[in-house]
Every structure is written in structure tokens, then in C-alpha cells.
């Protein structure tokens, strides 16, 4: 794991560098200090670059990005935080789930520029080898994955999901929508329906989440 961590960034830097050349980064328009000014630029087909700051896992990161950059691509391709995964890129699978402003969202369906100044927590911010987040530890303990590709999204989603439960946010699984929700296996399953696992590790995933939630699944 440490070895691949050491190799990965340089390979990614090369990829990013190559991609920027292909897109003609030098020709990109700058939006200037006020993004609104970009609307007066001449060529409507030219890429538009904006400056923004993301607060990722507690650290402010200043970026200059094409307006088209999703939060997911900003995290993976520009900040090299590749724990967050790109599955469908259309909000259907949940592999890209991150916590933005305290809420779990699909990072693929949000523009980075719309998160200027936002606090973003990714899987890298939840825990690390040696000091795992309790949910990460539970996933390991319950073997709650097979290929592992959906796992960062599952973990970010489930951590935020338990916070939603604690705050009393209702779900489709509750019999009485006006009543305070309780953590039951049906509630946990319904609340995790935005995260797909193609390997079908659901029973172990729900066991891991149930353990952290204090629910027998």
C-alpha cells in the first residue's frame, strides 16, 4: 500500500500534465477576479478558468479550474485525492460520495466552483492506516467489500447517514413520517440505497454499519 502510494502521484502528475497540453491550457480564458466578467469574453467555445478554494479534510486548497470541473474531478485529478472513486459519473452509483458542508453528496454531480469555500471531507479525511475511523475499522472487521471500488463511497455515505439519523431526518422506511426515526436494519438499508455495490457485499456492509450504529442486523 505504501509502495503504491509512493508511485501513484508521479504517474498522476504525468497524466494531468498531458491532459492539460491536450486541452490547450495556455489558451484558456481567465475569468478574472470576478467570475461574472467572464461573460463578456469573446469566444464562447473557449474554456473558462476560475479560481476557487476548497477546504479539504481541514486544509485550504486554492485551485484554478475550468468551470466544467466537477467536485469529483477536482478532488481526484487536481488534488490527487484518489480515494474518492468515479463509478458512473451520473449520480447513480454513489461511489463518489463525499461529505460537503456536513452533508453527503454525489461529488460527480456538483461543480467544484459551486463549492468555493466549502468544507469537504473525503475518505482520506475520515481516517488513515493506524488510526482508522470506526466505520473503516468495522468494514475491515466484517469484510464489507469484495473489489473495494465502492467502499470509500459506502463509508463516507454511512458516516454521514448515521449523523442524519441522529439529527432525526426521516426516511421512506419509517411507518410514521412525523415520528423520530430509529436505527433499524430496514432504516439502514433504505438510507444506504444511493450506494451500489456491484460485487453484492451488501449483507456484510449492513453488518458493519449496524455494528457502528449499535443495531443487530
Partner 1 sequence: MKPFTYERATSTAQAAARAASVPGAKFVAGGTNLLDLMKIEIETPAHLIDVNGLDLAKIEPTPDGGLRVGALVRNTDLAADARVRRDYPVLARALLAGASPQLRNRATTAGNLLQRTRCPYFYDPDQPCNKREPGSGCAALAGYRRMHAIVGTSDACIAAHPSDMAVAMRVLDAQVETIRADGTTRSLPLADLHRLPGSTPHLETTLDAGELVTAVVLPPPPGGVHVYRKVRDRASYAFALVSVALVRQADGSGRVALGGVAPKPWRSEEAERALASDPQAVVDGLLKDARTSPDNAFKLTLARRTLDAAIADARSSR
Which residues are near partner 1 by CB under 8 A? 31, 35-36, 38-39, 41, 44-48, 50, 66-68, 70, 89-91, 94, 97, 103-106, 108-111, 113-114, 157, 161, 164, 167-172, 177-178, 189-191, 193-194
Pairing of strands 29-30, 48-56: parallel
CA distance 143 to 133: 15
* Rounded alpha-carbon distances, angstroms, from residue 193 to 21, 158, 189, 196: 40, 11, 6, 7
Q: How far is the CB of 39 from partner 1 (least distance, A)?
A: 5
**Complex with partner 1: residue 134 or 170, whichever CB lies closer:** 170
Closer residue to partner 1, CB minimum distance, 138 or 162: 162
Q: Shortest gap between Cβ of 146 and partner 1 (angstroms)?
A: 21
Nearer to partner 1, 44 or 214 (CB): 44
- Alpha helices, DSSP H only, in 31-183? 71-73, 123-126, 134-141, 151-166
- Cα separation of 76 and 71, whole Å? 9
Q: How far apart are CB 164 and partner 1 at their closest, in Å?
A: 7
Provide, rounded to whole angstroms, the least separation between the CB of residue 130 and partner 1: 29
> Under a CB-based contact definition with an 8 Å cutoff, are residues 152 and 162 in contact?
no
Amino acid at each position: 500500500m505504501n509502495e503504491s502510494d509512493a508511485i501513484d502521484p508521479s504517474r498522476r502528475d504525468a497524466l494531468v500534465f498531458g491532459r492539460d497540453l491536450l486541452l490547450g491550457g495556455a489558451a484558456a480564458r481567465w475569468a478574472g477576479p470576478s467570475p461574472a466578467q467572464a461573460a463578456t469574453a469573446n469566444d464562447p467555445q473557449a474554456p473558462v478558468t476560475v479560481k476557487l478554494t476548497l477546504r479539504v479534510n481541514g486544509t485550504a486548497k486554492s485551485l484554478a479550474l475550468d468551470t466544467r470541473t466537477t467536485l469529483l474531478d477536482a478532488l481526484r485529478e487536481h488534488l490527487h485525492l484518489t480515494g474518492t472513486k468515479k463509478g458512473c459519473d451520473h449520480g447513480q452509483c454513489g461511489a463518489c460520495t463525499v461529505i460537503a458542508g456536513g452533508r453527503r453528496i454525489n461529488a460527480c454531480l456538483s461543480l467544484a466552483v459551486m463549492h468555493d469555500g466549502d468544507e469537504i471531507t473525503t475518505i482520506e479525511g475520515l481516517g488513515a492506516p493506524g488510526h482508522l475511523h470506526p466505520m473503516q475499522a468495522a468494514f475491515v472487521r466484517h469484510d464489507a467489500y469484495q473489489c473495494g471500488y465502492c467502499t470509500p463511497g459506502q463509508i463516507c455515505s454511512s458516516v454521514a447517514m448515521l449523523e442524519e439519523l441522529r439529527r432525526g431526518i426521516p426516511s421512506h422506511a419509517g411507518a410514521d413520517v412525523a415520528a423520530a426515526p430509529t436505527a433499524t436494519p430496514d432504516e439502514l438499508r433504505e438510507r444506504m440505497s444511493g450506494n451500489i455495490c456491484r460485487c453484492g457485499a451488501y449483507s456484510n456492509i449492513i453488518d458493519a454499519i449496524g455494528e457502528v450504529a449499535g443495531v443487530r442486523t
